[in-house]
Amino acid sequence: MPQALPELGVGVIGYGFMGKIHSYAYRSLPFLYDPAPARIRFVAVCTAHEETARKAAEQGGFERWTTDYRRLIDDPEVQVVHVCTPNDSHRELCVAALQAGKHVYCDKPLARDVAEAEAIVAAADRAGQGTKHQMAFQNRFLPATLRAKQLMEEGFVGRLFGYRAAYLHAGYIEADRPMSWRLDAAAAGGGALFDLGSHIIDLMRHLAGEIVRVSARCKTFTTERPKRGGGMARVEVEDLALMQVELEDGGLGTIESSRVATGANDELRFEIHGDKGALRFNLMDPNWLHAYDHREPTGPYGGDRGFKAIESVQRYPEPAQFPGPKNTIGWVRAHIACLHHFVACIVEDRPARPSLHDGLAVQRIMAAAYEAARSERWVAV
């Protein structure tokens, strides 16, 4: 007889885009992983309004709904709390859940500033090792980026000279796009750097090591936007952030975060260069990691040198078995793998990464970048 799976009761706070993605990822686990690490019970969902909460419970298959996050967190049948709300609520929700002994899965960025992020991490540390926590930095969990991490750890690129990294969107080009919480400094804490830069900063820390100093420039191109109820609102967060970074081992890098990259869709990309090789990746072509081995022999017409396309595709290790290693990968698949890792860490009682500590590390880098942009100088992280 197969061993019965442990059960985890899940509560999701916030059921906008990310709340739906997290819920979808849970539903996908038993299809994509055999066996799944746990049987998921959709206990409760919380949104700000009764109408949306009722709809979320029906659509997501939750047993109950509430408009009061405290009821969800205090529910003894909820063991895992997902924070999928705007940035200004992360501190309150994460700290409350951690204090209640719940496992916490938080969307990015961790908070609006370093002080809030430190408060969350302090609560996680007080909760102890039995309480697991993880950030939704899903770009670590694509087969191509998992392979890139493996190659970096094996020393494939050798001595790291530097990298170029970017995360580019085009959603805020039109000046008549209405104001939203993502453009409100009080709610979001930051602009393109928080929204997109948090992802690419985490990935480059993961692959290439710690960032110790930054310089930066930030620019807001549309300074006023229409409010949905009429009138205009001032935009105080940036559309574009450009960073230069110095790494712990002496290498240099550039990181660009843009929500006004005309022609871009969801373009997260990097190039890493060392004295033995190079790696490059683009999320818009996610099935391939490109690797250049400088140790290959050269000769007439180039010899054997050149970038090699590694067919990462959907080659996750077992217990991932469906739909198969040769099938093309999509954006949501990385979210499912990220969540699978978190659930497995809960069941197996091991630390989850990227943790809330990683979220704090990213927060400190972003804070240093804003200070560097204000002061027009290099700032230590």
**37 and 163 belong to one structural domain:** no
- Give the residue from 123, 138, 153 where a domain finishes: 138
- 87, 117 Cβ separation under 8 angstroms: no
Look at the block and give the residue holding tokens 């890139």: 148
Axis-axis angle for helices 90-99, 114-127 (nearest 10):
10
Residue labelled with tokens 């420039």:
217
Are residues 263 and 236 part of one domain?
yes
Where does 75-174 have alpha helices with state H?
90-99, 114-127, 143-153
83 is in which domain, residue-wise?
Answer: 7-138
Q: Are 222 and 179 in contact (CB under 8 A)?
A: no
**Separation between Cα atoms, residue 264 and residue 74, nearest integer Å:** 43
Do 204 and 106 have their domain in common?
Answer: no
Task: Identify the pLDDT of residue 125.
Answer: 98
Please count the other Cβ atoms lying within 10 Å of the Cβ belonging to residue 186.
Answer: 11
Other beta carbons less than 10 A from residue 224's beta carbon: 13
Tens digit of each residue's pLDDT, the chain (381 residues): 457 899 999 999 999 999 999 999 999 999 999 999 999 999 999 999 999 999 999 999 999 999 999 999 999 999 999 999 999 999 999 999 999 999 999 999 999 999 999 999 999 999 999 999 999 999 999 999 999 999 999 999 999 999 999 999 999 999 999 999 999 999 999 999 999 999 999 999 999 999 999 999 999 999 999 998 899 999 999 999 999 999 999 999 999 999 999 999 999 999 999 999 999 999 999 999 999 999 999 999 989 899 999 999 999 999 998 999 999 999 999 999 999 999 999 999 999 999 999 999 999 999 999 999 999 999 999
Asked whether residue 285 falls in the same domain as residue 314, the answer is: yes
User: What is the phi-psi region of residue 73: left when phi exceeds 0, alpha when psi lies from -120 to 50, beta otherwise?
Assistant: alpha
Residue 335 within a domain: no
Considering only CA atoms, which of 358, 315, 218, 209 is closest in space to residue 272?
209
Instruction: Of 182, 206, 243, give the one whose Cα is nearest residue 365.
Output: 243
Helix ranges, 66-191 (H):
69-74, 90-99, 114-127, 143-153, 185-188
Same domain, residue pair 110 and 144 = no
Q: What share of the chain is helix, strand, coil (3-state, %, to 5)?
A: 35, 25, 40
CATH number, residue 121: 3.40.50.720
pLDDT value at residue 321? 83
Return the pLDDT at 2: 59
Residues 292 and 178 in one domain: yes
Q: Say if 318 falls within a structural domain.
A: yes
Claim to verify: residue 185 and residue 311 sit in the same structural domain? yes
| Site of tokens 């093309």 | 328
In a domain, 332, yes or no: no
Q: Provide the strand spans (E) within the chain.
A: 7-13, 39-46, 64-66, 80-83, 103-106, 133-135, 160-168, 211-219, 224-226, 232-234, 240-247, 252-258, 267-274, 277-282, 288-293, 307-311, 379-380
- Pair 83, 150 in one domain: no
Q: What is the CATH number of the domain that holds 152?
A: 3.30.360.10
